[in-house]
Amino acid sequence: MADARDACGVFGIYQPGNEVAQLTYLGLYALQHRGQESAGIACSEGVTTTVVKDMGLVTQVFDERRLAPLDGHLAIGHVRYSTTGSSNWRNAQPVYRPVGDAGFAIAHNGNLTNTAQLSDELGQLPGIFDPNDATLDSTTDSELIGELLAREYDDALRSDGRDLEQALLKVLPRLEGAFSLVLMDEAHVFGVRDPHGIRPLVLGRVDGGWVLASESAALDIVGAHFLREVEPGELIAIDASGLRSIRYAEPTPKLCVFEFVYIARPDTNLYGQSVHSARQRMGEELARQAPVDADMVMPVPESGVPAAQGFALESGIPYGDGFVKNRYVGRTFINPDQKTRGNNVRIKLNPLPSNIRGKRLVVVEDSIVRGTTTRQIIAMLRASGATEVHFRVSSPPYRWPCFYGLDTGKRSDLLAADMSVGEISDYLGVDSLAYLDLDRLLTATGAPSEAFCTACFSGDYPVAVPDVDTKFVLESDAEIDLRIG
């Protein structure tokens, strides 16, 4: 998969009697694939909340020295790339809001679609919300959620201490789009999923405590037992009295199907299905749909590996490696600008001429978004002596932009938006090209087809989207100039 940026990763833990900063670090490490721009942890011992965050990978942001001040038994964490708001330190998460006698922190995975309306709403309240005001923590929709919660937060401490919970119940029905949230104050950890459950969030049990995470793989690394997915439209509240489940909206499940195609780790489970097995089934379906005579099936590593395995198994064509991946280069699509992504492709993959020369290749990739890196990959195979290159994609043509947390740019940036499969084949320089049909993709997931958002393939958006891209509505003029420049 190339030329897109995916969703962020969130993690939360409540474990009385244990210092949880190290576990939060490990949880974020397991979610690093979901964002490489920044990382952060908020932690509390029940009185004070401490936040440490910075630009870079989890291992770059945190070491023993920076983890040391994070005392406490409850914490949340975040790994980010930018969907709303530009890539800078101010927009790193968790976002912290000082209110009442203490404050709260929030980490957000997804993207709101009504940021313009919410910003206008805040502007009509006392203390105008000005996106050009540098005193604000950030210019993200996550900060917007934090501001809305802060306005609803009861300054006079309630007798049961559930100020943040009550604020959430007032604010959540006003949010539109995709939001999987973890939040905390000095005594509670919360998990929230939007009514469609567009972005994943799971619940686990750890010795004497609870864990929330974007993916089940993050539970495994901290030794937590997977219990279930947080339901769409559900608010989970965790404190000293245990766990409470609050239904704040009626659920209409529409998990992003691209989580199965690319975003989620292969060792994650979604809808009770193994992502790795689903991707192998996608390759099998692709071999049945678009067979070809060839000498070797090879993946574009690493995201194309399971589908290539499935294609080889079904077709009987031997599986082999055509590229060596530099393991120390991150996912190219996560980098904020196209020039950086292009440079990374050249250092990320190196062809194996001895495996390629003189062979007819079936090259399997999970998706094509803009197509620039795919074109470079095919050129490398040709230069290494491949006699034929048949490209097979284990998902349908990516024709529509995502407004729910996957940053693919505008529709005009998408290769398949206005090009036929034949035209794309000519542009890429391949001998043949085939995409997996949408119905076959949905069948391969093993989950009900109606339980998915397929907007990027079908144009059928489950939540109304704006006529113009509002993902940057909260940016200052200077940030917009920097992003465009």
Structural domains of the chain, ranges and CATH numbers in brackets: 9-254 (3.60.20.10), 276-447 (3.40.50.2020)
Residue 86 pLDDT more than 70? no
Active site residues: 8
For 396: left if phi > 0, alpha if psi spans -120 to 50, otherwise beta; the answer is beta
Angle between helices 115-123 and 141-152 (to 10 degrees): 40
pLDDT band at 90 (very low <50, low <70, confident <90, very high): confident
Q: Which of 33, 34, 70, 38 is nearest to 53 (CA)?
A: 38
Q: Which amino acid is at 125?
A: L
Average pLDDT over residues 96-107: 89
Measure the CA–CA gap between 238 and 254, rounded to whole angstroms. Answer: 26
Residue 274 pLDDT more than 70? yes
pLDDT band at 116 (very low <50, low <70, confident <90, very high): confident
Report which secondary-structure segment, H or E, holds 434. Answer: strand 432-435
Residue 245's pLDDT is 98
Residue 2's pLDDT is 46
3-state secondary structure 230-282: CCCCEEEEEECCEEEEEECCCCCCCEECHHHHHHCCCCCEECCEEHHHHHHHH
Mean pLDDT of all residues belonging to the chain: 88
Average pLDDT over residues 426-448: 98
Measure the CA–CA gap between 23 and 227, rounded to whole angstroms. Answer: 18
Residue 479's pLDDT is 33
Residue 334's pLDDT is 45
pLDDT band at 406 (very low <50, low <70, confident <90, very high): confident
Residue 154's pLDDT is 60
Of residues 122 and 483, more confidence is placed in 122
Average pLDDT over residues 376-382: 96
Measure the CA–CA gap between 112 and 198, rounded to whole angstroms. Answer: 11
Assess contact for 369 and 2: CB atoms under 8 A.
Answer: yes
Residue 161's pLDDT is 65
Residue 38's pLDDT is 94
Report which secondary-structure segment, H or E, holds 78. Answer: strand 74-80
Assess contact for 201 and 183: CB atoms under 8 A.
Answer: no
pLDDT band at 138 (very low <50, low <70, confident <90, very high): very low
Helix-then-strand count for the chain, H and E: 17, 23
Q: Give me the percent of the chain exceeding a pLDDT of 70.
A: 84
**Least confidently predicted of 33-37, 203-207, 245-249, 289-293:** 33-37
Assess contact for 40 and 67: CB atoms under 8 A.
Answer: no
Average pLDDT over residues 101-125: 86
Assess contact for 85 and 30: CB atoms under 8 A.
Answer: no
Residue 467 pLDDT more than 80? no
Average pLDDT over residues 82-110: 80
Assess contact for 111 and 405: CB atoms under 8 A.
Answer: yes
C-beta atoms surrounding 150 within 10 Å: 18
Average pLDDT over residues 121-136: 52
